[in-house]
Amino acid sequence: MLRQRVLTAAVLLALFLAAVFLLSNLLWALLMIVVLAVAGREWGRLAGFAATGQGFYAALLCAAASAIVALEHSQSPGQAFIYSVPGKTLYTLCAAFWLAIAPAWLYYRWEIRSRPLLAVVGLIVLLPFWHALVWMQLTPALLLGAMAVVWIADTAAYFAGRAFGRHKLAPSISPGKTWEGVAGALLAVAAAWVVLALIAPGSAADRGSGLLLVVLLAILGIQGDLFESWIKRLAGLKDSGRLLPGHGGLLDRVDALTSTLPLAALYFAYPLLRA
């Protein structure tokens, strides 16, 4: 199983990096719509929709994303969706969800099974995630840097949890996660940022805000993982799908990214959003 997981991850990473650097932003956006369709179908399954409903929900997300692509490419350079009124609204809803609603949802273990409500939540979770992937591909270092924070945190949490884990983080949601793993994740991303700050130029203020950002992204990544685990538990499913050998569904691989990339995009876009 481990060998299959590693092989799948290696192939996906190679294809992902090739696409990030070789595709134009328009082609990348269209490719990510395919990813959005798969994620949308899996979310529809978690929400309890039948096969037809899952397909309709995925099509709805793709139609919204296609409209965003058309809007962006009809505007002058630099006028990305994230700076528009609809974009600001959607990203604001996403930030409010991950910073306020999702923590309460997990803390109180809300057993929400309303399909319409979960469909709305899926839109708030998946559309900004898709757009953050598209927008940050314009500056690959930003995209890969944000994703690297999640990967470092996830890896460190796994090994720290296995070595030192004694206190369960959320046993009724994800029994394998521990507070020691969380501590390992935060220490790892903070250490990685300190090393990067020492070898790269930048002001003390930038380094300080960057440290806060990577720690926040690590926390949000853990939260995104827990949130999908809770939704799967309520749906009575072990995995969101069977697309990726050894990993489950697409959502099982990007759950932590759905909660981190939109917030990272907001951070990098903030100077222009204030205008």
Average pLDDT over residues 99-126: 96
Separation of alpha carbons 84 and 64, rounded Å:
15
Distance between alpha carbon 62 and the CA centroid of its chain, in Å?
18
Q: What is the mean pLDDT of residues 47-74?
A: 93
* Cα–Cα distances in angstroms (integers) from residue 96 to residues 50, 85, 90, 121, 220, in the given order: 29, 16, 10, 12, 12
> Measured at the alpha carbon of residue 42, what is the angle toward residues 38 and 44, in degrees to the nearest 5?
115
Q: In 10 A of CB 89, how many CB atoms?
A: 10
Range of the domain at 206: 2-273
- At 262 the pLDDT is 96
At 147 the pLDDT is 96
- Rounded CA gap, 179 and 36, in Å? 32
Q: Tell me, what's the pLDDT at 81?
A: 85
Region 94-115: mean pLDDT is 96
Instruction: Give φ, ψ of 167 to 5 degrees.
Output: -110, 120
Question: Does residue 275 have a pLDDT over 90?
Answer: no
Q: What global pTM score does this model have?
A: 0.92
Query: Can you give the pLDDT at residue 199?
Result: 84
Distances (CA, A) of 156 to 127, 163, 183, 194: 29, 10, 9, 16
Q: How many domains does the chain have?
A: 1
